[in-house]
């Protein structure tokens, strides 16, 4: 039986090399808590500064982008003086409220013009501003034909006696837009006279006989007090047809009424 050793021979030169290396290694120093806390504080402040500048810019950009996307102003304060306003500035206002504001503004302008006699009330029909004396009152809502919007007025003292007034706005949808209908026409008659009305391509007043066909007044009566006023808008096909049965001729009232007319 052979007895062989299982230990590998030791390389004395390699052991000596390891000893030389170990002499150059120094043990780690103990941790300095004060130095470590200063480093941690510096790193935390650096991270906060980066988040405040970079993240803050991103937040502002996101808010501005959202405001632009929904069409609202990015500031909650008033617009700069002279800056244009838009209907979207007050999304809570309905179409009826905006229309009421426009009518109110038109009435204010009419009163400020000095062309409305004292005590007369201002009204607006589809862009036509007019005024009437206080003794003439509305007849209430009117059931109009397609293509027609109208206001009816009568005397506050006797609703069944003149004056009777009808202010009508007609469009091409109206069946008799430009043809005769029981004596009415949207084309001035041969005896109509023109008057000045900015924004109108046609503005005439007529107290000639054809109006008697719808008013029921005798054609031979020279003092019938029947008047027809036609106004064609210059900016579109809309036309206004005003008919008056005053009972007796009243040129002063008619002329006063004409001075109150404006187009908005």
Task: Give the pLDDT confidence of 18-54 residue by residue, as tens digits.
Answer: 676 656 555 555 555 555 555 455 554 444 443 333 4
For residues 60 and 108, membership in a common domain is answered with: no
For residues 69 and 164, membership in a common domain is answered with: no
For residues 125 and 190, membership in a common domain is answered with: yes
For residues 60 and 146, membership in a common domain is answered with: no
Inside any domain, residue 84: no
- Six token digits for residue 45: 């402040």
> Around 193, how many Cα atoms within 13 Å sit in the side-chain half-sphere?
7
For residues 100 and 231, membership in a common domain is answered with: yes
For residues 109 and 172, membership in a common domain is answered with: yes
For residue 145, the 8-state DSSP code is P
Q: How many domains does the chain have?
A: 2
With beta carbons less than 8 A apart as the criterion, state whether 73 and 89 touch: yes
DSSP code string of 79-110: PPTT----GGG-TT--HHHHHHHHHHHHHHHH
For residues 170 and 50, membership in a common domain is answered with: no
Inside any domain, residue 6: no
For residue 120, give its domain range.
95-263
Task: Give the pLDDT confidence of 139-180 residue by residue, as tens digits.
Answer: 888 889 999 999 999 999 999 999 999 999 999 998 888 776
For residues 122 and 191, membership in a common domain is answered with: yes
Inside any domain, residue 30: no
Inside any domain, residue 208: yes
For residues 48 and 121, membership in a common domain is answered with: no
- What's the confidence (pLDDT) of residue 211? 59
**Cα 66 → chain centroid:** 22
- Six token digits for residue 54: 């970079």
Average pLDDT (204-231) is 71
Provide the 3-class DSSP secondary structure of residue 64: helix
For residues 238 and 110, membership in a common domain is answered with: yes
Inside any domain, residue 257: yes
Inside any domain, residue 100: yes
- Is the pLDDT score of 193 beyond 90? yes
- What's the confidence (pLDDT) of residue 107? 77
For residues 113 and 51, membership in a common domain is answered with: no
Higher pLDDT, 259 or 57: 259
- What's the confidence (pLDDT) of residue 182? 57
Inside any domain, residue 88: no
Inside any domain, residue 118: yes
For residues 65 and 122, membership in a common domain is answered with: no
Q: What is the CATH number of the domain that holds 244?
A: 3.40.1000
């Amino acid at each position: 039986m052979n007895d062989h050793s299982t230990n590998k021979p030791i390389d004395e030169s390699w052991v000596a090399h390891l000893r030389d290396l170990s002499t150059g290694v120094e043990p780690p120093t103990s941790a300095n808590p004060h130095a470590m806390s200063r480093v941690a504080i510096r790193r935390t402040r650096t991270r906060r500064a980066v988040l405040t500048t970079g993240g803050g810019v991103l937040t502002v950009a996101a808010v501005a982008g959202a405001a632009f996307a929904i069409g609202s102003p990015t500031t909650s304060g008033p617009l700069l003086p002279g800056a244009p306003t838009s209907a979207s500035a007050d999304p809570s206002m309905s179409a009826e409220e905006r229309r009421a504001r426009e009518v109110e503004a038109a009435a204010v302008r009419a009163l400020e013009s000095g062309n409305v006699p004292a005590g007369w009330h201002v009204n607006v029909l589809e862009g036509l501003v007019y005024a009437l004396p206080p003794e003439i009152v509305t007849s209430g809502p009117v059931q109009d034909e397609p293509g027609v919007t109208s206001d009816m007025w009568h005397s506050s003292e006797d609703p069944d006696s003149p004056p009777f007034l009808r202010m009508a706005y007609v469009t091409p949808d109206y069946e008799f837009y430009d043809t005769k209908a029981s004596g009415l026409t949207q084309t001035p008659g041969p005896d109509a006279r023109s008057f000045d009305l900015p924004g109108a391509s046609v503005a005439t007043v007529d107290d000639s006989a054809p109006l008697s066909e719808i008013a029921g007044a005798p054609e031979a009566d020279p003092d019938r007090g029947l008047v027809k006023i036609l106004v064609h808008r210059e900016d579109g096909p809309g036309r206004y047809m005003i008919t008056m049965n005053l009972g007796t001729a009243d040129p002063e009232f008619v002329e006063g009424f004409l001075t109150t007319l404006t187009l908005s």
